[in-house]
């Protein structure tokens, strides 16, 4: 059989390749070209200065900005808040889409299944600005529904959004509500790909639906669960900065201020571009190390991984 050249397959799939071009261009422009800007993390950069020059214009300062961040009075606070919010999100939110997908798969009536799916997906497509607006309205100390209920049962009205002890709870709950439906899509797709003959054989052996779920469905989606967990650990120092910026105020900085919001303040508002770039690079390095460790441990424990 004659071996076909790569050009043959490229001509055959030319329309699919053309469809990829816009995404490749966007990826290159917004993900790879900005890497060049990492250089300013090791400089005292000001607007208008070149990123790289050999005439002395570029002011190299080595690890000055990294050391400044480690010595900052805000370092402990932003690291603690970032880690806690990420860990709480994983611990309390990671498993909910999995359970929801397993339960949704057990609904036999197509109409009810589609209604539940649609209702669970909707919050994901709502803007964070709208989501935060709804939360602020519900938790308003003046006429919020939650405070009205608390007062009805004899409690005192509380300014939840101005109380540091409630911020993380509100953030986690709203995040789960907004994303669990959409997060279940990947698991439902994996469940649909499981060989149906396995279920037929299990039923013939007398396995009920619970046993089928535990011994066929769950193991069938376990590779995907593992990969998604690796990605979650790889983003350990990431948080939804846009949502936090919309939710927080100086009153809750002690529990709400994360690395992302701190970087925005320093880089955008204070004009410390090199310092903000150094903090961002530090976060990227830590996330990369966490991703490598999570993948390595997963390979040793479950034989599943990204590579």
Q: What is the mean pLDDT of residues 197-223?
A: 88
Kindly list the domain boundaries of the chain, sorted by start residue: 38-301
Q: How many CB atoms lie within 10 A of CB 45?
A: 22
Task: Output the pLDDT for position 4.
Answer: 63
pLDDT surpassing 60 at residue 91: yes
292-303 pLDDT, tens digit per residue, is 998 898 888 877
DSSP annotation of 265 reads I
d(CA 123, CA 298): 32
Domain at 38-301, CATH from 1.20.120.350, 2.130.10.30, 1.10.3720.10, 1.10.274.10 = 1.10.3720.10
246-277 pLDDT, tens digit per residue, is 888 888 888 888 999 999 999 888 888 899 99
d(CA 283, CA 238): 8
DSSP annotation of 155 reads -
d(CA 250, CA 60): 34
């Amino acid at each position: 059989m004659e071996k076909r050249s790569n050009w043959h397959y490229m001509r055959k799939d030319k329309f699919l390749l053309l469809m990829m071009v816009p995404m490749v261009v966007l990826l290159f422009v917004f993900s790879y070209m900005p890497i060049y800007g990492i250089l300013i993390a090791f400089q005292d950069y000001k607007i208008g200065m070149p990123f790289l020059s050999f005439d002395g214009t570029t002011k190299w300062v080595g690890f000055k900005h990294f050391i400044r961040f480690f010595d900052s009075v805000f370092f402990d606070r932003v690291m603690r808040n970032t880690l806690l919010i990420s860990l709480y999100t994983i611990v309390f939110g990671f498993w909910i889409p999995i359970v929801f997908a397993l339960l949704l798969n057990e609904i036999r009536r197509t109409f009810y299944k589609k209604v539940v799916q649609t209702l669970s997906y909707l919050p994901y497509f709502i803007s964070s600005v709208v989501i935060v607006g709804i939360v602020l309205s519900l938790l308003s100390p003046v006429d919020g529904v939650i405070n009205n209920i608390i007062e009805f049962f004899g409690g005192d009205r509380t300014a939840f959004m101005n109380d540091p002890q409630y911020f993380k709870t509100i953030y986690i709950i709203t995040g789960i509500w907004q994303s669990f439906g959409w997060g279940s899509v990947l698991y439902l797709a994996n469940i649909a790909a499981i060989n149906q003959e396995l279920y037929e054989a299990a039923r013939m052996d007398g396995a009920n639906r619970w046993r089928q779920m535990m011994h066929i469905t769950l193991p069938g989606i376990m590779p995907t669960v593992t990969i998604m967990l690796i990605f979650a650990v790889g983003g350990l120092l990431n948080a939804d900065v846009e949502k936090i910026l919309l939710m927080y105020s100086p009153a809750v900085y002690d529990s709400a201020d994360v690395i992302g919001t701190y970087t925005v303040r320093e880089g955008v508002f204070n004009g410390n571009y090199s310092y903000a770039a150094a903090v961002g690079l530090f976060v990227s390095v830590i996330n990369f190390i966490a991703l490598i460790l999570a993948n390595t441990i997963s390979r040793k424990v479950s034989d599943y991984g990204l590579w």
